[in-house]
Structure 1
């Protein structure tokens, strides 16, 4: 499984200051040389904070408890005012996961998806994803060749249907029904931070499927790096739902 962050929200701090007549002053940002201390200010946290402060025009940060991004977002999370988290997003390219996993993932309606098409892509050389419970007997491997029977039947079905006059896409469209649910797929997934929090809470969970639980843990680890304030209350070391 490979979960790669390929895009995230980028804040324009000069524009944010100019739009508020310089009442907004992001921590660690110097207007003179543009230096920004990333340990203090994170784009994916800054935009939700800006949205929240706009509601009350609280640009001056009078309360020490909420003066920093971490402190402000801690207060937001404690009051469950999650709507401001929708102002920042992250996009991941995910490979080495099964169609079983993506069938569960797409139940999260507030995420956006672009998945590999088995109608267009030749699946003769596709791989099978080994679920965690079976990895020990497969020597720890997480990927392997598709079962020979499935490959043989897929290839034979494509050839037979094309010989009958079907176009290649139509032949693959029908032949893909032979492939197992563990067949590897690749998917691009985008979500705002509120949507990511909701999906991770359900999928990085002791009651979730083992493969998607690994996926949820990888997502949370990376999201905590780019948006530590938005995910400060979510522990990525243990799945949710435990004792």
Structure 2
């Protein structure tokens, strides 16, 4: 049976904020993208002296931004994440988030001879269903390797074009469950949109798991934590017989009042 892959989410890049000289703003403990968002908001009104005690800290300021819906300032902070152990099913949905910029593993250049698969938890939880899944995944992988061998024999390996010709045809039999790897970059507003849609009961269970992992990573990063502090993780039951999952809830609605 193919190897089993599990999702992993890592932050590999975040906004680095540098306060400009001559601006009379006490940055406090604001760093990274959260600092950039606060600075951008204060720049609109030149409110460097923090006249409102409720918004004098970065946490209070960002929460106010979320409450009033002036979300455009969140676009000044970005995070780049590397996702591995996710399925092609996940990326087919994930790339629908147009404000996240993707760079994904290419099956035309990277052979999938020993591809791992991502098993839906409701299948993995049932031994009989897991056996059916394993057999189907192995059959598809065997078919891929047979096709790739014969296409390679037919077209040769003397050029990159010939190799691509074989791989791009053989990959047609690979299932959505095949593991892929993808880099996603988005501003904080786009990441909040992703979490609001995907870390929810209505989302596919795999993308829900990934969205929760994304949220955990962003909450653990000092430069993004204030922007995602309103979310709380709670357990959720899709069905009495299904494995328990986690979703994200917030006491704030991302109502967008920017025009």
TM-score under structure 1 length normalisation: 0.86
Task: State the 1:98 CA deviation.
Answer: 0.3
State the Cα deviation string for residues 151-176 of structure 1 (Å, max 9, x = none). 22111111222233261211110000
Indicate the SS of the match to 1:235: strand
Separation of aligned partners in 1, 2:136 and 2:118:
9
State the Cα deviation string for residues 125-154 of structure 1 (Å, max 9, x = none). 001111111222369x9xx89822112211
Q: How many residues align?
A: 222
> 4+ runs of 1 displaced by more than 3 Å?
none
Separation of aligned partners in 2, 1:73 and 1:145:
50
Give the structure 1 partner of residue 79 of structure 2: 90
State the Cα deviation string for residues 17-36 of structure 1 (Å, max 9, x = none). x1xx2411211xxxxxxxxx
Separation of aligned partners in 1, 2:106 and 2:58:
41
**Uncovered stretches (5+) of structure 1, i.e. residues with no partner:** 28-39
Residues 55/62 of structure 1: CA separation in 2 closer, same or farther (3 Å cut): same
- The structure, 1 or 2, with the larger RCO (C-alpha pairs under 8 Å, 6+ apart) is 2
**Uncovered stretches (5+) of structure 2, i.e. residues with no partner:** 1-6, 157-161, 236-246, 251-259
Give the structure 2 partner of residue 23 of structure 1: 24
Give the structure 1 partner of residue 189 of structure 2: 194
The question of whether the paired residues in 2 share the 8 Å contact of 1:86 and 1:194 is answered with yes
The question of 1:5 aligning with 2:37 is answered no
The question of 1:59 aligning with 2:48 is answered yes
Give the structure 2 partner of residue 207 of structure 1: 202
TM-score under structure 2 length normalisation: 0.80
The question of whether the paired residues in 2 share the 8 Å contact of 1:88 and 1:193 is answered with yes
State the Cα deviation string for residues 65-87 of structure 1 (Å, max 9, x = none). 11111111111111111000000
State the Cα deviation string for residues 197-235 of structure 1 (Å, max 9, x = none). 001110001010111100000111111222222112222
Q: Over the residues paired in the alignment, what is the CA RMSD in angstroms?
A: 2.1
